[in-house]
């Protein structure tokens, strides 16, 4: 089985500060990591490989330092990777990104299974995975929380949808986006890191991909960020203060009442 | 405790004159209760003060001490109350003197790499204030986000990074101290070397609030490391794990920032509690090793060396955490051990023994033996790099609570005797306080205890400052 996992490198959000004036992230000095939700796609791929064999290739579009993310994915257990990197790719929206990744996947010869994270923690759109499926003309199964390869050679994917679970039987080739429930990502091992260091990772630019220059990067992006604003927080709460030990039960009761009134309990 | 005078209305009035009414808590049991205990879980170790006072300067503290001597009222100094030996608990009642208002960073001397602070500064805030200058204070107790630096010095706090950076005392260059009799003295300053007279500065460090109250603290700073990496190493058993600790330093020629040890019981209970999916079942012990440095290349070279060494010496697997998320994940296992056992049974005694670190494998079967002979569960974890182990006595849920204190006492005595036999002692960083004073004779000779009581009496002839601490009861209080 040939698996491709597209990943994105994002800023480590637990340490990110927002610029109060522009409303954008202050990225200087912030550590870059694999998009945490992509780790679930990597983990899923490795588990499938451990059970059924195959190869896993990670692909990412980004600046040269994205190499670090690709090596980390290899350290976790992926076999190889490819980086799509060139100034011309810069400023791409989700459409241009999906287009560029499509060319990369095609150059890799396609795959039986493409596994994506649900969305990236920085842009938060969740569009690149589905966009890639569309451009590659592949069936798309989103929000997969459980995945098995059935005896028939078809995938059995359990989707977490509003109001329940949906089990989809689908044949390769297919693109899926996975959610956290699929399994906790493993930590990289030292052996993995040493192997990743030795792995040659090709870097492909627009010429390698034979990309249409009007469809990549900022120029190829039909959407633009024109304004960022912060939503007003409308949630309100009620503060219950316990002044004396004897009031604990009373306070607990008022929390219960509070929740009952709002149909939480 | 009949030997001290209670707080009378005239004394209270004088205290109010010194610090102002707003900063004296009296007759407000619900507010005062917060000053009756530290982080020792067992409420039996708590004791209510009669009054809590919050001075703002050395001069005020000096006046309070003179007043306390005049009326013979005990004074217990208090930082954030995050201690683990009852050091800040006013066991004789009287006054709790909280330094919470003295929380200013007075000076960052970038050219001498020194910071001057008041005792009520939260330790982590020092580092927040100087990190943009590329500096840091290397004292690192595990409670770094809540404890006060004054308490760190009074307890000579250690923590997880002591193997590389040493304990708090290494960084104390100077102190302004109010003596128990009220004099204000300055010990040391910004000097990196100073051999004039006895080293009274370091007599103050670790004196557990019994010899003086620190009002100004001069700390030595270090260049802030810019890169770090953590290794979580799984071993088949504790002996194999511990065999690697000297090898890392001797053969690897690296002093890691931290080497934390977790025995099988700690690992399994905590991983289950956290729903951690690491393959912990196959591990008989784990080491959590951190390296830091001034470049990613240096750190990479060091963790590779250590990891390869461990692999060549019996490690089952070496996991590497290179970013904040994965580093938090591996440290979460270590940090949640106490919490995980509280879910199993909230009644426990957190211990702080220290032994030569190569002896750690020897103590483990002894602990197992104790847990087989008594109704206690004994997880063992802690700072493998310096032999400081937080052995914890956890009451088995089936043991009736009324029998606990007797069992606890019996097991503690045995534990401390084993510790002594292996060349260790009963506290590495938490201190003796009130919790361990009765056990001091197990590890310290009567002559040494007497000598220290005499030192105490020279500083505090009326036994006013933090009485009934460190030294066992009876057999005279020194010169008195």
Phi and psi (nearest 5°) for A106? Answer: -65, -45
Sign of CA dihedral B334, B295, B293, B287: positive
Whether residue B2 is predicted with pLDDT greater than 70 in this model: the reply is: no
Chain B residues with CB under 8 Å of A33 CB are: 323-325
pLDDT digits (tens, 9 = 90+) for B214-234: 999 999 999 999 999 999 999
Q: Which two tokens stand for residue B222?
A: 């270090």
The DSSP line for B64-114 is HHHHHHHHT--EEEESSS--SSSTTS-TT-SEEEE-TT---EEEEETTTTE
The neighbour count for residue B296, using CB atoms within 10 Å, is 14
In angstroms, rounded to a whole number, what is the distance separating the alpha carbons of residues A245 and A238?
A: 20
Chain A residues with CB under 8 Å of B320 CB are: 75, 187-190, 193
In angstroms, rounded to a whole number, what is the distance separating the alpha carbons of residues B425 and B417?
A: 9
Chain B residues with CB under 8 Å of A14 CB are: 324-325
3-state secondary structure of A184: coil
Residue with more model confidence, A14 or B316: B316
In angstroms, rounded to a whole number, what is the distance separating the alpha carbons of residues B121 and B138?
A: 15
In angstroms, rounded to a whole number, what is the distance separating the alpha carbons of residues B418 and B411?
A: 10
pLDDT digits (tens, 9 = 90+) for B15-54: 999 999 999 999 999 999 999 999 988 888 999 999 999 9
Chain B residues with CB under 8 Å of A75 CB are: 320
- Do residue B325 and residue A33 have CB atoms under 8 angstroms apart? yes
Compute the C-alpha angle B167/B170/B176, nearest 5°: 115
Which helix or strand (DSSP H or E) is residue B243 part of? helix B238-250
3-state secondary structure of B255: coil
Confidence of residue B3 (pLDDT cuts 50, 70, 90): confident
Compute the C-alpha angle A257/A259/A265, nearest 5°: 105
- Do residue A12 and residue B323 have CB atoms under 8 angstroms apart? yes
- Do residue B307 and residue A190 have CB atoms under 8 angstroms apart? yes
B contact test, residue of A29, A77, A121, A193 with most B CBs within 10 A: A193
Distances (CA, A) of A193 to A9, A32, A43: 18, 17, 16
Q: Could you tell me where the DSSP H helices lie in A87-217?
A: 94-107, 128-136, 190-198, 206-209
Distances (CA, A) of B21 to B9, B71, B93, B156: 13, 20, 20, 33
β partners of residue A9: A34
**Which residues 449-468 on chain B approach chain A with CB closer than 8 angstroms?**
none
Q: Which two tokens stand for residue A171?
A: 């044949």
- Do residue B30 and residue A244 have CB atoms under 8 angstroms apart? yes
The neighbour count for residue B435, using CB atoms within 10 Å, is 27
Confidence of residue B304 (pLDDT cuts 50, 70, 90): very high
ipTM of the complex: 0.83
Distance from CA of B72 to the nearest CA of A (A): 33
Distances (CA, A) of A147 to A164, A183, A212: 16, 10, 36
Residue with more model confidence, A240 or B189: B189
Which of B276, B319, B329 faces A189 most closely, judged by CB atoms? B319
Whether residue B480 is predicted with pLDDT greater than 80 in this model: the reply is: no
CA atoms within 13 A on the CB side of B281: 2
SS3 sequence, A26-67? ECCCCCEEECCCHHHHHHHHHHHHHHHCCEEEEEEECCHHHH
The DSSP line for B343-411 is HH-S-EEE-BEE--GGGHHHHHHHHHHHHHHSSEE---EEETTTTEE--EEEE-TTS-GGGHHHHHHHH
- CA-closest candidate to residue B99, choices B67, B121, B125, B71: B121
Residue with more model confidence, B72 or B342: B72
Per-run averaged pLDDT (10 residues), chain A, 265 residues: 96 73 68 94 97 97 96 97 97 96 98 96 91 98 96 92 94 96 95 97 98 95 84 75 75 86 82
Whether residue B478 is predicted with pLDDT greater than 70 in this model: the reply is: no
- CA-closest candidate to residue B355, choices B347, B346, B364, B342: B364
Note the pLDDT of residue A15.
Answer: 66
Q: Which two tokens stand for residue B398?
A: 């089936």
Residue with more model confidence, A255 or B200: B200
Chain A residues with CB under 8 Å of B322 CB are: 72, 188
Q: Which two tokens stand for residue B284?
A: 């008989």
Whether residue B182 is predicted with pLDDT greater than 80 in this model: the reply is: yes
Confidence of residue B1 (pLDDT cuts 50, 70, 90): very low
Note the pLDDT of residue A24.
Answer: 64
pLDDT digits (tens, 9 = 90+) for B129-139: 999 999 999 98
Whether residue B293 is predicted with pLDDT greater than 50 in this model: the reply is: yes
Chain B residues with CB under 8 Å of A26 CB are: none
Which of A184, A190, A244 faces B277 most closely, judged by CB atoms? A184
Q: Could you tell me where the DSSP H helices lie in A113-247?
A: 128-136, 190-198, 206-209
Whether residue B355 is predicted with pLDDT greater than 90 in this model: the reply is: yes
Long-range CB pairs of B11-20, under 8 A, 24+ apart, other chains included: B11/B67, B11/B71, B11/B73, B12/B51, B14/B67, B15/B51, B15/B53, B15/B64, B15/B67, B15/B95, B18/B53, B18/B55, B18/B60, B18/B63, B18/B64, B18/B67, B19/B53, B19/B54, B19/B55, B19/B56, B19/B60, B19/B64
Instruction: Name which of A95-99, B53-57, B67-71, B357-361 the model is least confident about.
Output: B357-361
Note the pLDDT of residue A25.
Answer: 66
- Do residue B324 and residue A15 have CB atoms under 8 angstroms apart? yes
B contact test, residue of A33, A190, A196 with most B CBs within 10 A: A190
Sign of CA dihedral B385, B386, B389, B390: negative
Note the pLDDT of residue B5.
Answer: 96
Compute the C-alpha angle A25/A29/A31, nearest 5°: 85
Phi and psi (nearest 5°) for B108? Answer: -110, 105
The average pLDDT across B170-186 equals 98
Q: Give the strand pairing for A174-178 and A164-170.
A: unpaired
Chain B residues with CB under 8 Å of A187 CB are: 232, 278, 319-321, 326, 329-330
Note the pLDDT of residue A22.
Answer: 62
- CA-closest candidate to residue B307, choices A187, A193, A190, A71: A190
The average pLDDT across B264-292 equals 93
Tell me how far apart the terminal alpha carbons of chain B are, to the nearest angstrom: 17
Whether residue B468 is predicted with pLDDT greater than 90 in this model: the reply is: yes
Residue with more model confidence, B343 or B54: B54
State chain B's mean pLDDT as an integer.
94
Determine the length of chain A.
265
pTM, two decimals, is: 0.87
């Amino acid at each position: 089985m040939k698996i491709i996992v597209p990943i994105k490198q994002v800023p480590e959000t637990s340490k990110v500060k927002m610029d109060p004036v522009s409303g954008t992230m202050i990225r200087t000095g912030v550590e870059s990591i694999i998009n945490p939700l992509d780790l679930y796609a990597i983990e899923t791929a490795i588990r499938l490989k451990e059970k059924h064999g195959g190869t896993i290739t990670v692909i990412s579009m980004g600046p040269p330092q994205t190499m670090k993310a690709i090596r980390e994915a290899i350290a976790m257990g992926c076999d190889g990777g490819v980086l799509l990197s060139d100034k011309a790719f810069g400023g791409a929206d989700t459409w241009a990104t999906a287009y560029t990744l499509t060319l990369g996947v095609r150059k890799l010869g396609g795959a039986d299974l493409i596994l994506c994270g649900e969305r990236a923690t920085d842009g938060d759109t969740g569009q690149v995975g589905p966009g890639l499926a569309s451009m590659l003309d592949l069936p798309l199964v989103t929000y997969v929380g459980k995945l098995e390869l059935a005896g028939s050679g078809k995938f059995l994917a359990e989707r977490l949808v509003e109001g329940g679970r949906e089990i989809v039987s689908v044949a390769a080739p297919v693109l899926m986006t996975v959610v956290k429930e699929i399994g906790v990502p493993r930590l990289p091992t030292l052996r993995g890191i040493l192997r990743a260091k030795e792995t040659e990772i090709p870097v492909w630019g627009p010429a390698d991909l034979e990309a249409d220059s009007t469809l990549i990067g900022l120029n190829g992006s039909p959407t633009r960020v024109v304004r960022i604003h912060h939503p007003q927080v409308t949630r309100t709460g009620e503060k219950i203060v316990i002044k004396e030990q004897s009031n604990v039960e009373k306070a607990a009761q008022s929390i219960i009442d509070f929740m009952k009134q709002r149909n939480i309990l | 405790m009949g030997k001290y005078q209670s707080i009378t209305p005239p004394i209270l009035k004088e205290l109010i004159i010194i610090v102002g009414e707003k900063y004296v808590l009296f007759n407000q049991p619900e507010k005062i209760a917060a000053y009756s205990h530290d982080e020792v879980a067992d409420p039996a170790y708590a004791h209510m003060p009669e009054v809590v006072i919050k001075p703002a300067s050395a001069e005020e503290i000096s006046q309070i001490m003179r007043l306390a001597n005049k009326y013979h009222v005990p004074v217990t100094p208090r930082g954030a109350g995050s201690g683990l030996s009852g050091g800040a608990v006013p066991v004789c009642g009287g006054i709790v003197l909280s330094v919470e208002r003295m929380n200013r960073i007075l000076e960052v001397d970038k050219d001498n790499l020194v910071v001057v602070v008041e005792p009520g500064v939260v330790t982590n805030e020092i580092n927040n204030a100087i990190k943009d200058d590329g500096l840091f204070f290397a004292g690192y107790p595990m409670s770094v986000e809540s404890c006060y630096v004054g308490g760190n010095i009074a307890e000579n706090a250690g923590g997880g990074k002591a193997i590389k950076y040493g304990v708090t005392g290494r960084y104390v260059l100077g102190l302004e101290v109010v003596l128990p009799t009220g004099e204000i003295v300055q010990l040391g300053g910004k000097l990196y070397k100073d051999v004039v007279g006895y080293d009274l500065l370091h007599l103050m460090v670790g004196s557990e609030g019994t010899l003086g109250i620190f009002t100004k603290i001069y700390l030595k700073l270090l260049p802030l490391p810019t890169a770090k990496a953590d290794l979580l190493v799984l071993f088949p058993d504790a002996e194999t794990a511990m065999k690697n600790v000297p090898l890392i330093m001797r053969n690897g020629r690296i002093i890691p920032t931290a080497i934390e040890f977790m025995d099988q019981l700690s690992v399994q209970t905590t991983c289950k509690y956290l729903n951690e999916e690491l393959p912990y079942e196959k591990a008989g012990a784990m080491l959590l090793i951190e390296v830091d440095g001034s470049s990613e290349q240096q750190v990479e070279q060091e963790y590779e060396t250590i990891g390869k060494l461990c692999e060549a010496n019996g490690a089952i697997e070496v996991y590497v955490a290179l970013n904040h998320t994965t580093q938090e994940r591996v440290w979460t296992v270590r940090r949640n051990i106490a919490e995980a056992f509280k879910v199993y049974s909230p009644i426990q005694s957190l211990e702080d023994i220290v032994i030569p670190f190569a002896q750690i494998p020897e103590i483990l079967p002894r602990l197992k033996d104790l847990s087989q002979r008594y109704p206690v569960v004994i997880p063992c974890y802690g700072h493998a790099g310096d032999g400081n182990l937080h052995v914890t006595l956890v009451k088995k849920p089936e043991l009736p609570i009324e029998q606990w204190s007797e069992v606890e006492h019996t097991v503690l005595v045995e534990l401390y005797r084993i510790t002594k036999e292996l060349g260790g002692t009963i506290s590495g960083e938490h201190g003796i306080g009130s919790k361990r004073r009765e056990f001091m004779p197990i590890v310290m000779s009567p002559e040494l205890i007497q000598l220290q009581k005499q030192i105490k009496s020279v500083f505090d002839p009326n036994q006013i400052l933090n009485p009934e601490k460190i030294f066992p009861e009876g057999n005279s209080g020194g010169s008195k």
